[in-house]
Amino acid sequence: MADFYFSLPPLLRGFLQGLAVVLVIFPIAGASSLAERKVSAWIQGRPGPNRAIVPWFAAIPFLGRFLQRLGLFHLAADGGKLLLKEEPLPGHVHKFYYTIAPWLGLIPAFTTITVVPFGAYWDSAMQTMHPLVLANVDIGILAVFAIGSLGVYSVILAGWSSNSKYPFIGSIRASTQLSSYEISMTLAVLPVFMWINSPGSDGSLSLARVVEFQSGTHFLGGLWFVFLMPLSALIFLIALFAETNRLPFDMPESEADLVGGFHTEYGAFKWSLFFVAEYAHMIVGSAVFVVLFLGGWNPLPWVPVASLVHWFHLENLPFVVGLVSIAIFLAKVIFMIFFFMWVRWTLPRFRYDQVMRIGWRRLLPLAIANLIFYIIAIALLT
């Protein structure tokens, strides 16, 4: 099967891989919206969505009732409603930008996932793990930051093209907030890449290499970077909340003071695309966090997937190893998405001036101090 796949022309392979990305991320993003409703209900002590059911399923004893209580059919019901309802096009908007803005949010999210490694398979000939990634480029993290930074245009354009006051304020807030927190985010990951680029090695910003440095079995080699560089991880995580517009940093939306922020004038399918884009950004952000700080696809610190391969004698089953590593990686990503929701329903939203103060006067100096500390520490160690 693998041989047949590699015999296909590269263009077709690229197309199939791209299709796979969309087919995996889109449903996860959709399921996240249901998960958000369930998690919020659980945190607030409510049952949450538990009514929708397909008539024939309701007849199944126990299972039907269980699925109904789980709220799984609300996902299909929501999607159907958003697809079928009328698409309003307010008369005062800039039609071209208004229409493309929701789609612009999806493109960066789906593009960045191509450079994020999501698993590894065992190469029995080389006796090593090989990362599974759509495009293992040398500039990995830079590509993520570069394409991710284009996501801001979706929100800016949506607010501006709506041609009304509240969306406009939302988009102004978005552009300041996203450019402010990008600086701290970039500074926070620098220590990680200084650590993995020891003097004399070929310099690389590849994300797969970061995981490689967290899959050893001796003390420093197997330590996940969240333990080695806790402050970097914290700063990165806070900046990630700001970059994905999640509470407590969801200034562009702030429905309490801006009605709905940048998407006030949107409805139906276009509106839902903004949320698919938001969840897609969360998935990519969580995946990058897992790769950088949580050991990627390794089950435990000091226990890399390679150890599992030796313990359970999986040397001749590359597909099984690949699936196991992808499952571990996905479990961590899902935990991170749950963490995003947990924080959303626990902390209240910051005020706009607080967001700016935290970004520029707390997080940025902290990120610079952290960077200088690790420059000195790494220089002393190596």
Partner 1 sequence: MSDLLFFAFTALTAGGALGVVLNKNAVHAAFCLLLSLLGTAGLFVLLNAYLLAALLILVYAGAVVALFVFVVMLIGMQGGTGKPTGRLATVGAFLAFIALLAGAFVTLTREPLPPPVLANMPPVGAELKLYAYQLFTTYLLPVEVSGFLLLVAMIGVIVLAKKDKPEAKA
Residues that bind partner 1 (CB under 8 A): 11, 137-139, 142-143, 145-147, 149-150, 152-153, 156-157, 160, 168, 171-172, 175-176, 178-179, 182, 202-205
Closer CB to partner 1, 171 or 215, in the complex: 171
Amino acid at 347: L
Task: Please name which of 362, 345, 344, 340 lies closest in space to residue 353, comparing C-alpha atoms.
Answer: 362
What is the 3 state secondary structure string of 129-144? EEEECCCCCCCHHHHH
Determine the residue type at 331: A
Distance of alpha carbon 202 from alpha carbon 115, whole angstroms: 19
Q: Is 155 exposed, middle or buried (0-12, 13-18, 19+ CB in 10 A)?
A: buried
User: Which among 96, 185, 107 has a CA at the least distance from the CA of 152?
Assistant: 107
Which 3 state secondary structure label does DSSP give 121?
strand
Identify which of residues 180 and 272 has a Cβ nearer to partner 1 in the complex: 180
Other Cβ atoms less than 10 A from the Cβ of 190: the count is: 16
Please report how close the Cβ of residue 162 comes to partner 1 at its closest, in angstroms: 12
Question: Which residue's CB is nearer to partner 1, number 81 or number 357?
Answer: 357
Nearer to partner 1, 122 or 160 (CB): 160
The amino acid that residue 228 corresponds to is: L
In whole angstroms, the minimum distance from the beta carbon of 168 to partner 1 comes to 7
CB nearer partner 1, residue 67 or residue 139:
139
Q: Could you give the maximum distance between any two Cα atoms of the chain, in Å?
A: 69
The CB-of-225 to partner 1 minimum distance in angstroms stands at: 20
Closest CA to 240 of 336, 168, 135: 336
Least gap, CB of 266 to partner 1 (angstroms): 18
- Hunting for tokens 């699936």 — which residue is that? 323
Residue with Cβ nearer partner 1 (150 or 334): 150
* Cα separation, 30 vs 35, whole angstroms: 9
Least distance CB 197 / partner 1 (angstroms): 9
Closer residue to partner 1 in complex, CB, 292/306: 292
Nearer to partner 1, 87 or 138 (CB): 138
In angstroms, give the least distance from the CB of 160 to partner 1.
Answer: 6
Angle at 329 (CA atoms; ends 144, 336), nearest 5 degrees = 70
Q: In angstroms, give the least distance from the CB of 145 to partner 1.
A: 6
Bridge partner residues of 300 (DSSP): 303
What is the nearest approach in angstroms of partner 1 to the Cβ of residue 363? 17
